[in-house]
Amino acid sequence: MFAWRHVSTGLLCLAIAAVPLAADGPDTVTTVTIASVQFRVCEQRYGSLDVFGRTVERIVAHAVSEHNADIVVFPEYINVFLLAARYSDAVADSTTVSGALRRITSSIGGDTAVPAELLKSHADEVADQTLGLWKAIAQSYDVVIIPGTFFVTTSGPADRELRNRLVVIDRDGSVVYKQDKVYLTPLESQELGLRPGSLRQAEPVELDDLTVGFTICRDTFFDTWHEPLQGSDLWIDLRANGEPYTAEVYERFRRTLPQRVRQSSAVAGVNATLTGEFLDMLWQGPSYVVDADGRRIAESRALVGTEITAVQLVRRDDSWQIRRP
């Protein structure tokens, strides 16, 4: 179990301020605070599972102590880089991710042309170890955590398939929901050997009286999600967009989560984004919150960094609303 530690003052925060509620009976009002994490990737944070664990625990502790978070959301891919801790020499001697994968595969006598086999060979072990860490943090801080995504293997038509999976961890440390990314990028499908999940397996999940639907990055470009996620009060998207955050990229992403929320029953959308650099890969962009009309009402202050954006949703009787400043 993780002990409570002093929270780093280096974490930046942006919260939607609370306003007093009208005098309703205590049994008619429910408030849920969601803390969205913009996370900065760097090779130092993935030197070991222990280093990574201390880093993410500080963030969760900050979200709980400063924002009274009920749900903490981390971005896509945050756990995948822990493979680097197993092969630190190969990573240190490489300048590109593909080069590091080839070095690692060659060092263990594998086929350097098939890095997917390397990822498959370690995916479940890395995911299990990392999940153990996240479960302990959720229990220790009494908070629901969506800990980004993991690579996992699952049975396919011909062989084991590699998937990009999000999970939801409840306050007691139990995994209460799983969902695999459906619409993969060319890098994921062609170079990493990932296989898509199924829309039929996606559904909203109840978290602290909220009905929550999830998408993973590129998934949000497709309106096919509206049927399986019908009835969601909140739409959460985990993102890792591997390119500079230009004006063109900003405009492109206005067609993702904002559009999904605007066309759904959700009263808000929350995005958690990966930022930083790892070898030759780069991620930029803010985490943000949109209202029911798809308008961005809060976002992290920098394009790269570790920051928390918090939003409160309030339910009066059967109606959820954003608590506005």
Residue 224 lies in a domain: yes
φ, ψ (nearest 5 deg) of residue 161 = -110, 145
**Tokens at 317, concatenated:** 């009787």
Residue 83 lies in a domain: yes
Number of domains in the chain: 1
- Kindly state the percentage of the chain with pLDDT values over 70: 87
Question: Is the pLDDT at 111 greater than 60, yes or no?
Answer: no
Predicted pLDDT of residue 8 = 34
What is the C-alpha separation between 12 and 28, in angstroms, rounded? 33
Residue 18 lies in a domain: no
Question: CA 210 from chain center: how many Å?
Answer: 18
Specify the pTM. 0.88
- Structural contact between residues 138 and 163, judged by C-beta atoms closer than 8 angstroms: no
Question: Is the pLDDT at 39 greater than 50, yes or no?
Answer: yes
**For helices 115-141 and 97-107, what crossing angle results, to 10°?**
100
Residue 3 lies in a domain: no
What range defines the domain where residue 196 resides? 32-315
What is the C-alpha separation between 39 and 34, in angstroms, rounded? 16
What is the C-alpha separation between 35 and 252, in angstroms, rounded? 24
For residue 152, give the amino acid letter. V
DSSP per-residue codes, 38-90: EEEE-GGGGS-HHHHHHHHHHHHHHHHHHH--SEEEE-TTTTGGGHHHHTHHH
**Tokens at 3, concatenated:** 């002990």
Model confidence pLDDT, tens digit, residues 57-108: 999 999 999 999 999 999 999 999 898 777 777 777 777 777 777 777 776 6
Predicted pLDDT of residue 21 = 35
Residue 4 lies in a domain: no
Mean pLDDT of 295-300: 95
**Three-class SS state of 54:** helix
Residue 23 lies in a domain: no
What is the C-alpha separation between 213 and 200, in angstroms, rounded? 13
- Structural contact between residues 224 and 259, judged by C-beta atoms closer than 8 angstroms: no
From the list 196, 143, 144, 193, the residue with the least C-alpha distance to 165 is 196
Cα atoms in the 13 Å half-sphere on the side-chain side of 266: 32
- Kindly state the percentage of the chain with pLDDT values over 90: 67
What is the C-alpha separation between 43 and 81, in angstroms, rounded? 9
Predicted pLDDT of residue 116 = 74
From the list 324, 320, 257, the residue with the least C-alpha distance to 294 is 257
Q: Which of 48-62, 101-115, 197-211 has the lowest mean pLDDT?
A: 101-115
What is the C-alpha separation between 224 and 55, in angstroms, rounded? 36
Model confidence pLDDT, tens digit, residues 135-193: 999 999 999 999 999 999 998 666 789 999 999 999 999 999 999 999 999 989 988 88
Residue 39 lies in a domain: yes
At 133, which CATH number? 3.60.110.10
Residue 169 lies in a domain: yes
Q: Which of 88-97, 103-112, 195-204, 228-237 has the lowest mean pLDDT?
A: 103-112
The average confidence (pLDDT) of the chain is 87
Question: Is the pLDDT at 272 greater than 90, yes or no?
Answer: yes
CB 24: neighbour CB atoms within 10 A?
A: 10
From the list 284, 219, 308, the residue with the least C-alpha distance to 257 is 219
For residue 40, give the amino acid letter. R
Model confidence pLDDT, tens digit, residues 2-37: 332 223 333 433 433 333 333 344 557 899 999 999
What is the C-alpha separation between 207 and 320, in angstroms, rounded? 13
